[in-house]
Amino acid sequence: MPPELVRVERHGDGGVVALVVFDDPGRRNAMTESMGRALTQVVARLSSDAELRAVVLTGAGQAFSAGGDLAMLEAKSQAGRAAPGEAARAANRDFMRRFYGLFLSVRNLPCPSIAAMNGPAIGAGLAVALACDLRVAARDAKFGLNFTQLGIHPGMGSSWTLPRLVGPVHAADLLLTGRSIDGAEAERIGLVNRSVARDEVVAKALEMAEAIARCAPIAVRGTKQSLHRSMADAPLDAQLEFEAEQQAICYESADFAEGLRAIREKRAPRFEGR
């Protein structure tokens, strides 16, 4: 059997948190097409799990992901140079667009996702972490979008996600120079939510995931949708309409009634996702 490039562990009370692991440590979890297809299958399976409340994404071994598969990139470069022009360009463009979709499938998870960046996340590897809802990073690890240093335009949505997270000034710095930063600087500029010691990264991400899991699932999933709409520059009136609709849905839920009851009884709520 081929190696399992993406594996899943269940955590939290009742297994409501999934730890998804890029598992190709010998290649520092390079972003291959095979790994992308494996991730897409895992995301599809987890997305159909109504009990799931949060997902943590990390890498096996010493790296989150060293970035794109060099063999694939070299093949695309050779194809482009061998027959430059619209036909080769269209073939490479269409392939890359499909390739992006494999890894950016993580955005399709209905529950929040947290990237646990336990080691270097470079190029496409960092771009995948940027596609998650939250990020925890090793304080001493290196993170960079080094596309221009390789001679290629940034990809995997990084020119869209990065400015929305860190602002246009920091995004221009990182994308144009391709320089790497450590976890401490990543936290300072808002690229990650927390930077911690390397051996604490996954535990901290799971702690955050379990904090999310204790909240009302219907409200959390709706909030994730609202944040995605906001990042896509939904106008305020449209956002207010969406928020009002989501609150109306929550008014019908047993969880909201439980939340109100818990406040009155001065205890922690017990949400069931209904």
What are the tens digits of pLDDT across the range 129-160?
A: 999 999 999 999 999 999 999 999 999 999 99
Q: Tell me which architecture the domain covering 6-213 has in CATH.
A: Alpha-Beta Complex (3.90)
Task: Give 79's pLDDT tier (boundaries 50, 70, 90).
Answer: confident
In this prediction, residue 73 carries a pLDDT of 87
Task: Give 2's pLDDT tier (boundaries 50, 70, 90).
Answer: low
Say if CB 194 and CB 130 are below 8 A apart.
no
For range 155-178, the mean pLDDT: 97
Pairwise CA distance, residues 64 & 54, whole Å: 19
Q: Which of the two residues, 2 and 245, has the higher pLDDT score? A: 245
The gap between the terminal CA atoms of the chain, to the nearest Å, is 40
What's the residue count for the chain? Answer: 274
In this prediction, residue 166 carries a pLDDT of 98
Mean pLDDT is lowest, of 69-73, 114-118, 150-154, 235-239, for 69-73
In terms of Cα–Cα distance, which of 145, 273, 172, 269 is closest to 220?
A: 273
For range 232-240, the mean pLDDT: 93
User: Interior CA angle at 138 toward 183 and 226, to 5°?
Assistant: 75
User: Interior CA angle at 33 toward 146 and 132, to 5°?
Assistant: 60
